Structures are given as C-alpha cells and as structure tokens.
Amino acid sequence: MAARLPFRKTVAAGLVASAGLGIALTLALATRSAAQTPPSTNGTAQAALPQTQPAPVSADRPPAFAPLGDIPGTPLTPAQESGQNRMPPLDRNAVVKGEQLFGKMNCAGCHAYGGKGAMGPDLTDPYWRYGSSPEAIYSSIAEGRPQGMPSWGRTLSPKEIWSLVAYIRSLSKQPPFTAEAPKSGGTSAGQAEGQGLGRH
Amino acid sequence: MSEHNVVTRPLQRLKASTPVRNLRDARRGVRIPRPLHKVFGVLVIGLGAGVCLTALAQAPSSAPPPPATQSQAPQAGAPSGAGSAPEPSSTTNGQGQIIPEPLAPGSPGTPTLGPSGPPLESLSFDVAPAAPSGEWHLAAHDFANSRYSDLDQINTGNVNRLRVAWTFADGTINGHEAAPLVVGDTMYLITPFPNNAYALDLSQPGIPIKWVYKPNPRPIAMGKACCDTVNRGGAWADGKLVYNLLDGHTVAVDTKTGQEVWRTLIGQPAQGLTLTMAPLIVGDKVFVGVSGGELGVRGFLEALSLKDGHELWRAYSTGSDKDVLIGPEFHPFYQFMQGHNLGETTWPADAWRHGGGTTWGWISYDPATNLIFYGTSNPGPRVPVQRPGINLWTSTVFARDADTGMARWAYQFTPHDQWDYDGVNENLLADLDWNGQRRHVLIHFDRNAFAYVLDRATGEVLEASPFAYQNWSLGIDLKTGMPRVNPEEEPVPEKKLPNVCPPDIGGKDWQPSAMSPRTGLVYAGIFNICMELTDHRVSYIPGTPYDGMQMKRHAGPGGNWGEFMAWDPVKGRKAWSIREKFMTMSGALATAGDVVFYGTADGWFRAVHARTGAVLWSTKLGSGVIGQPIAFLGPDHREYIAIYSGIGGAAMVSQTEPGFPARGGTLYVFSVDGASPNTVNGMSETKGGGARQGGAMGAEVP
C-alpha cells in the first residue's frame, strides 16, 4: 500500500491542474471569439477571417449559408460567401444522375428538356436570378424560390440535389465538378449575378 | 415583299348609301321614303331577283350533303365540307396564298340590301345581354361571343385615317391578352400578373386613373402558369367588375370605389391550379373556369353567385357522372359518349383523378335554352400511352343548364387526345341557313385544326372541315362523330416524330374569332405551325407539370407562322385569308363598318375589309399584339378602337424568329385622325382628383 501524498502537495497539484485547465479553456474561448470577430471595416478582411477550419466536406452536408443578398461592410459577394461547405467532390456519374433526376422529378416539365426554359426560366443562358454558384443553385432547389420554384429539400437527399446542381451547371457550360466561381469581370455570368430585376 | 398580298378588286356592289346602324336595322331592313308605286315595282323586281339567285345557289344542296371525307389540306385552302353551294372561284398566288373572287351578291353569306327589302344574310345571332351600343361589358361582347360591334363611324371609307388618340402604360410586362371593358364613361383594364385593375375616366382631360385595385396575388402562382402569367380580362355587371387572379381566386370589385366586394378561392396553386380566363356573367351568376391541364389538375367549371361569390355548383370534367353533373337529361348525340360514368371508365384505374380537362377558355350562353357552352382541355398526363382509353370528358364541348350545371349534351372533339389539342376554344352561337332550314348552331375552330358547326340543341356535328394543315387525322367520320387517327403521328415514348401538324398549340389557340351578320363570315387568327415531338413517361408530383412532351415547333408549309382568315361556316371553307410571317394570336373584332381588326406577334395592328380581306390600314405598336381589340363610343360619341400591346403568352414559341419584339404593356386607343377631346394639343392637364387605391393583402392562406 503506497503512502498518501502530504496534504500540501495535493493542494498544489490540484491548483496546477486547475490552472492548466483554466488556461486551456481561456485559450480555447479566446480562439473562438477571435474566429467570430467581424471583419474590420477598413477592408482588411483577411486579418479577421475565421481561423477555424471549415467543417469537413461531404456530399451529405448542405450549404450552411448561401445568401441571396449582399453582405454589408465587406467586399464579399453572395457567391463568394456562399456556404462554408463548398461543393463536395463529385464524379462524372453525378451529371448523368442529375439528368435522370431532372426528368424524373418533372424539372423538365417547367424548364424544358435540355433546360432551355418554358414555364420556368432558361437554365442554359448566362442569366441567373438567384445566383449561379453551386451553393446558390443548391439553395434554390432545396429551399424553393418565391415565384414558383418548388422546395425539394424534404423530398430529395443532399446527394441527389448536388447531382442536379452538377447537371444544371453543365447545361450552361460551367464547371460541374468544382466550386469555381464564374470568371471575374468579363463573363456575363459574373455581371448578371446580383441583378435582381426579374426575368427578362 | 408585302406579307399580306391580297389582290383586291372593286366590290360588285356596296351596301346602300343608308348606313345600317345596328343589328336591329340589319334585320328589319332600312326604309327609304319613295313614291308608293315605285316602291311596289322595285320591291317585286328585287324580291324576284333575290329569290331566283338564291334558288340557283341552293339547288345542288337538295340532296343531303355527302359525309365529310376530309383529305389532308396541304395549304391554306381547305376543301369544302358541305359543298352545298357553288363556290366562288379562287386562285393561288406564288406564295400559295388564296386570292378569292369576291362573293357574288345573292350567294349565301353575302347580305344584300334590297332597295327597300330586308337583307338576305345567312348568319344572325342573339345580341343578349344587349349592352348599350358603344359599350363593352363582357370580353366576348355578348353571350353569343360575337365580338361584333354595331358601330360604323369607322368604316372602309375612313379606317385608313386611324391614328393614335391616346395610350396607357399599365406597368406590367407579361403577355397582355385581355379585352378592355367600357361601361358608360369608364374603361376597365385587367393586367397580367399581378392582376391589377384600372378604371380610366374617359370623360376627363388626360384620361386619368379613377382608381387602381391591387389584389396582391401570391407569386408562387407564377411558377404554375404553363403559358405566361396572362389574364384574358374581366366581366362587368351590376356595378361590379369580376375577374380572376392567377393564384386561384376570383374577385369582384365595386366599380364606383375600386374596393373589393368579394374574393373567392377556387383552387390552390400548390396543386397546380391557376386562373387565367375571363369569366362570364349571366344574370346573377358568374361562371369561372380553371387552368392547370399541364399539371394534372382535375378540371372543373364553377358557378358563383354574383352578389357574394359563394359557390353555386361545380361540374368536374372527369370522374363519376355525379361529379360531372350528368343525369337523366344528358343526351350525347353520338354513341361513343353514351354510357354511365364514362368519366371514370374511359381511363385506367384512378387516372381520371389527375386527368386534366381544365376549362380555361371561353364560355357562351343561349338565353332561349338557358344553356352555357364551353370546352375542356387536354387529358393529363400529356403522354397518351400512360392513359389508354378515350379519356372522357377531356377535349370536349359541354352544353349545361346555367342554373343547375346539369349537362344536356357533350361532344368530344379529340377522343384520347394525344397531342394536347384541348377543346377550350370559343363556341360562337349563331343561326344559319342550313340546307334550306334555319338552324341554331355553334361554330368552333378547334386546336385540332378542324372548323366545326354543331347543332347546339343536340350536339350533332353538321360539318367538320380543316382550316389549317393537319396530319394527325384522316378526317372526321360524321356518322360516328369520331376522327380517324393517322397511326403515323401517334406518339410512342422516346420515339421522335419529326413533323406533327398542328402542334400542341393547334391550328388555332385561345385567340377568339368574331362573326359579322353583314357578311355571314367568321374571322380568326390561325396558325401554320408543326412540331417535332418526343414523348417521355412522367410521374405525377403535385404542383409540378404532368407533361412529358418534348417539342420543337416550326412554321408549316409556306414558312409563315400565322394567317388571318375569313371563314364561311356554311360552305366550310375560307372566303379569303392573309398570310402573316409572325403568329396571329390576337382576338378578332368585326364591326358594322365592314372593317375587321387583328394584330400580329411582331406588333402590327391591322384593319381589313370584311368582305374582301384587303388590308386597309396597318400600324406598328410598341410590342407584340396578343390582346383582344374592342370598339367603343367615347363620351364625345366618337368611335374608338382599343387594343393592348404586350407580347407573351404562348406566342413565345416563335421568339427566336428575327424581328420578334421585346415585351411591353401599353393600351393603344385609335380614332379617325386621332381626334379626342380629352387628349388634344395645347396646354392640357390631367384632370381628376387623386387616384384612389384599393387593395387587399394577398392572403397566405385562403
């Protein structure tokens, strides 16, 4: 049977352990609050960007934040800010699967076979009322939109919706498999985004 | 090269110098005071000549007409169905366009005014509800759907002096399909979504807005409208303007104040149902039809109380006899529609529940029999292999008792409709000389490219002749009442049919025709369009299209998308027609001035001679024309012509044609020389107190 530690040493060990715990907790809290500090208003956003890593990407995680409106006080566009969860890696099958769903779920009934538009807007042209980024298209499908786009978020799985996104982006010749933003400036895709003037 | 090359020859005779002011005068004949003996002599000679000419013209028809053997008509000149009278000869110019000889006086269809005798017109109609001359209370003008105005200040002599008197932009840009209404000194306009209503004061300088009513319909309905977020107009009666909102409500607005009187929910956009048609008001009842045949909506026709909007009866287009309001007084003329619960048994099990048969077209009414007439849309889904059977009661015209809704007879134009032809087009109620008898008929240009004349008491088909190129059928068998379908044009899933004619939107779509009792002719904008078609099987998902037709439409033989024609309903052939490069999807207006008006998808608005088809006047409007023109008298007792411009609707199928216009939303009002006391030159100000605005929240729940 080992001899017990003397009383004072026990207290000291406890104090050290508590302090260590306290420091660790404080550091953790400080880190978190640093992560939530809003970007400074003088435009040097880099310094205030979150330091935590984005949550691990997976096909089953829908976008967490895909704003339609602009974000005041930052140079970020809705497309750039769209979601912590970028489009997951998808394979070639995703486009094929998306095309099958496009017919099966009656998307073709409104947007026409091939996406040229009829009751619903043309999905092959550069005009995107609610944004052309993968996350924006995902949100449009999952949430629906006020002028008659139904909400499919309760009916289709995230994986199915991502495959639809891949197919739809392929219709307007945007890269289906990555989250590349539209090329800056020159393309009308980039210019048309954010023009909320309604269907032309 | 002019697109409307109609060679004109001087008329053999013009109407007498005494103008006919209204229909009653036309019937009674115009009296000219003359010495009595001269009257007697002229009367005898005139009557005798008329009798001889008529007898000669009628002679070949003493035998019953042969059954219609309808061969395909490759061009616009369809062969005659009835063949009961010597036909005026016609030649075809280099473009295959008909250049008719003018109808000889005394031949059927040409009213002749004897010097002091009654006109020998073939076509007449009931003018009920007989709005004051110069007003326009219903989109179709009257219960018979004549779209005929008895005004003749604007006539063949002066129509080329028409100029813009004033215009009105209504702030919306979707397809403008409505007819303006005029009651007293006020004009009422209904816009496409968001379905605002304007009252314009015609009596004040600047034609100010008296009030605007903004009903705020729910925007999700925009995504359920197959063919643009259009509205075909309202109806006025008893101090109320009644019209439909896209989101499934019918509203009544007090026209003195612009305040809502009642709002009735007819059906839910979430189920695919929208409203686009112009209701009909008969007495104390409002008749409303629904849209959504492309979304598997189970169609029905509804009667509401004009006073407070509550439902009086509802007649479904599919399902049991009980739901379809079929009872012991229902007597369809043809055997294929005789039986019990055919609205269920002509479908696979339960398919009738999403069977379409919506009712988005026109309604006409016969006061003598108290019957309303209207048609039902295509069956759902649009892929026919998924619904074997003749799919009653889709693509069908119904005659129903206006008070109870009980069906009296029905006729299915396109049994087992495989091409989305619908049956909703207008039914003009007219009286015609038919084989020596006066008959009460309805005249109907179907989407399936056949022009029908039906006995409106029994539903018997007196005639069915193609008015546009069609290859879906080998003719209509008048013994059985059924078409003989061309097996080569029957769609099979995943198989591409390169050239089905007419396309889904038909040889003629909803754009309504007009008839003239002075000429005996019926005037309509029609199409010359075919489609490449591939069917794909589909599932029913509520609120989404139950469709499956992959189509690409193109102009038919000749290359023109449109054509405006004058149709002789007795002879079953065109009297003249005008080919148009763009679609002719506007309503037609016929007037006592012998002028007919129509517009084109690229924005031309034309006045043509009612008898010869000579284009007398054309002007280009700000956007394409798919609205319904009207004629009215202003407070200054001057005749005006009003037409909306604003392309949209199903005319968008031709939007890739070079020259296709941009969208817009402006009402144009024309008068001779553009004269109008309230929009004259000089320092004019818009009179009128502040525009009052009435509205209501678009409810999230009904």
- Chain A closest-CA separation from residue B233 CA (Å): 21
Q: State the average pLDDT over residues B450-463.
A: 98
Q: State the average pLDDT over residues B634-662.
A: 97
Tell me how far apart the alpha carbons of residues B424 and B443 are, in angstroms, rounded to a whole number.
13
CA A133 to chain CA centroid, Å, is 9
CB contact under 8 A, A106 and B541: yes
Q: Calculate the average pLDDT of chain B.
A: 87
Q: pLDDT class for A195, splitting at 50, 70, 90? A: very low
Nearest to B407 by CA among B482, B468, B349, B328: B328
Tell me how far apart the alpha carbons of residues B597 and B591 are, in angstroms, rounded to a whole number.
9
CB atoms closer than 10 angstroms to residue A89: 11
Q: Where are the extended beta strands (E) located within B69-149?
A: 90-92, 98-100, 148-149
Residues paired with residue B451 on neighbouring β-strands, in sequence order: B445, B465
Q: pLDDT class for B227, splitting at 50, 70, 90? A: very high
A-B Cβ pairs (cutoff 8 Å, strict) = 55
**What tokens were used for B440?**
């009460």
Tell me how far apart the alpha carbons of residues B232 and B245 are, in angstroms, rounded to a whole number.
11
Tell me how far apart the alpha carbons of residues B97 and B562 are, in angstroms, rounded to a whole number.
12
The pLDDT tens digits for A177-186 are: 655 544 443 3
What pLDDT is recorded for position A78?
A: 72
Q: Are B275 and B253 in contact (CB under 8 A)?
A: no
Radius of gyration of chain A (CA): 24
The shares of helix, strand and coil residues in chain A, as percent rounded to the nearest 5, are 40, 0, 55
Q: Are B566 and B127 in contact (CB under 8 A)?
A: no
Q: What pTM does this model have? A: 0.80
Nearest to B517 by CA among B418, B601, B419, B590: B590
Q: State the average pLDDT over residues A74-91.
A: 71
Q: Say which residues have a Cβ less than 8 Å from residue B198's Cβ, sequence separation at least 6.
A: B168, B170, B188, B189, B191, B209, B211, B212, B213
B157 vs B19, which has greater pLDDT? B157
Q: pLDDT class for B694, splitting at 50, 70, 90? A: low
Q: Are B570 and B432 in contact (CB under 8 A)?
A: yes
Q: Calculate the average pLDDT of chain A.
A: 71
What pLDDT is recorded for position A6?
A: 61
H helical segments located in B64-214 = none
Q: Are B446 and B421 in contact (CB under 8 A)?
A: yes
The pLDDT tens digits for B376-391 are: 999 999 999 999 999 9
Helix (H) or strand (E) holding B373: strand B371-375
What pLDDT is recorded for position B73?
A: 34
Q: Are B432 and B123 in contact (CB under 8 A)?
A: yes
Render the burial of B230-269: b for 16+ CB within 10 Å, e for the rest: bbbbbbbbeebbbbbbbbbbbbbbebeebebbbbbebbbb
Residues paired with residue B534 on neighbouring β-strands, in sequence order: B496, B550
What pLDDT is recorded for position A90?
A: 76
Q: State the average pLDDT over residues B556-565.
A: 96
Q: State the average pLDDT over residues A108-116.
A: 96
Instruction: List CB contacts (< 8 A) between B544 and chain A.
Output: 105-106, 109-110, 150
What pLDDT is recorded for position A91?
A: 77
The pLDDT tens digits for B624-639 are: 999 999 999 999 999 9
Q: Say which residues have a Cβ less than 8 Å from residue B2's Cβ, sequence separation at least 6.
A: none
Q: State the average pLDDT over residues B505-516.
A: 98
Percentage of residues of chain B with pLDDT beyond 90? 79
CB contact under 8 A, A113 and B550: yes
CB contact under 8 A, A150 and B543: yes
Catalytic residue among B87, B142, B294, B433: B294
Radius of gyration of chain B (CA): 24
**What tokens were used for A107?**
């998307």
- CA torsion sign for B457, B460, B465, B466 is positive
Half-sphere exposure of B38 (CA within 13 A, CB side): 5
Amino acid at site B566: A
Q: State the average pLDDT over residues B9-35.
A: 43
Q: Are B256 and B651 in contact (CB under 8 A)?
A: no
Among B225, B227, B547, select the one facing A109 at the smallest CB separation. B547
**What tokens were used for B207?**
């034609």
Q: Which residues of A touch B (CB under 8 A)?
A: 103-106, 108-110, 112-113, 118-120, 146-150
Q: Are B478 and B566 in contact (CB under 8 A)?
A: no
What pLDDT is recorded for position B671?
A: 98
Q: pLDDT class for A15, splitting at 50, 70, 90? A: low
Catalytic residue among B142, B366, B417, B420: B420
H helical segments located in B312-463 = 321-324, 342-345
A186 vs B25, which has greater pLDDT? B25
Tell me how far apart the alpha carbons of residues A150 and B412 are, in angstroms, rounded to a whole number.
34
B5 vs A171, which has greater pLDDT? A171
Q: State the average pLDDT over residues B74-78.
A: 35
Tell me how far apart the alpha carbons of residues B615 and B608 are, in angstroms, rounded to a whole number.
4
Largest CA distance in chain B: 79
> Is ipTM beyond 0.95?
no
Q: Say which residues have a Cβ less than 8 Å from residue B372's Cβ, sequence separation at least 6.
A: B280, B282, B287, B363, B364, B365, B399, B400, B402
Q: State the average pLDDT over residues A48-70.
A: 63
CB contact under 8 A, A150 and B225: no
Tell me how far apart the alpha carbons of residues B610 and B470 are, in angstroms, rounded to a whole number.
26
Amino acid at site B60: P
Q: What three-state secondary structure class fits A163?
A: helix
CB contact under 8 A, B219 and A148: yes
**What tokens were used for B482?**
């059924």
Tell me how far apart the alpha carbons of residues B405 and B420 are, in angstroms, rounded to a whole number.
26
Mutate to test the interface with A, among B291, B494, B538 (most CBs of A within 10 A): B538
Nearest to B284 by CA among B315, B307, B312, B250: B307
Q: What three-state secondary structure class fits B536?
A: coil
The shares of helix, strand and coil residues in chain B, as percent rounded to the nearest 5, are 10, 30, 55
β-pairing verdict for B197-201 and B209-214: antiparallel
Tell me how far apart the alpha carbons of residues B138 and B179 are, in angstroms, rounded to a whole number.
8
Q: State the average pLDDT over residues B346-367.
A: 98
Range name among A138-142, B46-50, B448-452 with the lowest pLDDT average: B46-50
Mutate to test the interface with B, among A100, A105, A106 (most CBs of B within 10 A): A106
Whether B350 is catalytic: no
Nearest to A138 by CA among A110, A98, A194, A195: A98
Looking at chain A, which residue has its C-alpha nearest residue B651?
A: A118
Q: Are B373 and B364 in contact (CB under 8 A)?
A: yes
What pLDDT is recorded for position A67?
A: 83
Nearest to A63 by CA among A47, A48, A82, A49: A82
**What tokens were used for B106?**
């005394």
**What tokens were used for B116?**
């002091």
The number of residues in chain B equals 702
Instruction: List CB contacts (< 8 A) between A119 and chain B.
Output: 223-227, 294, 545
Q: What three-state secondary structure class fits B351?
A: helix
Q: Are B257 and B211 in contact (CB under 8 A)?
A: yes
Half-sphere exposure of B48 (CA within 13 A, CB side): 6
Half-sphere exposure of B604 (CA within 13 A, CB side): 19
Range name among A86-95, B70-79, B428-437 with the lowest pLDDT average: B70-79
Nearest to B236 by CA among B280, B289, B177: B280
Amino acid at site B104: A
pLDDT at A87 over 80: no
Instruction: List CB contacts (< 8 A) between B220 and chain A.
Output: 146-148
β-pairing verdict for B311-316 and B363-366: unpaired
What pLDDT is recorded for position B642?
A: 98
Tell me how far apart the alpha carbons of residues A146 and A109 are, in angstroms, rounded to a whole number.
18
Q: Are B194 and B216 in contact (CB under 8 A)?
A: yes
CA B337 to chain CA centroid, Å, is 26
A72 vs B473, which has greater pLDDT? B473
